Amino acid sequence: MKKVITLTAVLGILFISCNNKAKENTEMPVAPAVPVTESLGTECYSSMMDNNSAAMELNINTNNEVNGKLSYSYYQKDKNEGTIVGNIKGDTLIADYTFMSEGTSSVRQVVFLKKDGMYIEGFGDVLESNGKMVFTDKTKLKFDPKMVFNKVDCKE
């Protein structure tokens, strides 16, 4: 009889301790706080040179992340228009431009230097990497003062 009582007591203790551990492990972990980003608003820019034009609409948030629209209309060439997604680092906007031209979707890296409230587009050597055209060395980019995007009122 002593063996039955002892065995019952040991099993009861094991059952209670296992139940307590199970309860400890069922608590939901708390997710780390995600920083909240707020939009700083939309900025619009336009570039006009000879018979060529370009337009850029940027949505910038508090983390300096950018998304928006970019389009180029060159004289006697198909219009390129698409989306831009990237980041602002200091005075430089580095982004991917995904666009349609002549019925084909393409992606290329674009870089703009912000100076005196306007953006100047950078040009340099490129190569294809993972299906998109990227600059080989961003430190060697030339910022063409002819391709200046001046701030304009956004069209609704």
Amino acid occupying residue 71? S
Mapped onto helix, strand or coil, the DSSP state of residue 30 is: coil
User: Regarding beta strands 39-49 and 104-115, do their DSSP bridges make them parallel or antiparallel, or are they unpaired?
Assistant: unpaired
Q: pTM to 2 decimals? A: 0.73
CA distance 9 to 128: 73
How many independent structural domains does the chain possess?
Answer: 1
Residue 29 lies in a domain: no
Residue 19 lies in a domain: no
pLDDT > 90? residue 128 = yes
pLDDT in tens, 13-47: 545 555 554 445 556 555 555 566 788 889 999 99
- Residue 47 CB coordination number (10 Å): 20
pLDDT in tens, 83-97: 999 999 999 999 999
Helix H or strand E encompassing 6 = helix 2-25
Residue 79 lies in a domain: yes
Full residue range of the structural domain in which residue 99 is found: 39-152
CA distance 117 to 81: 23
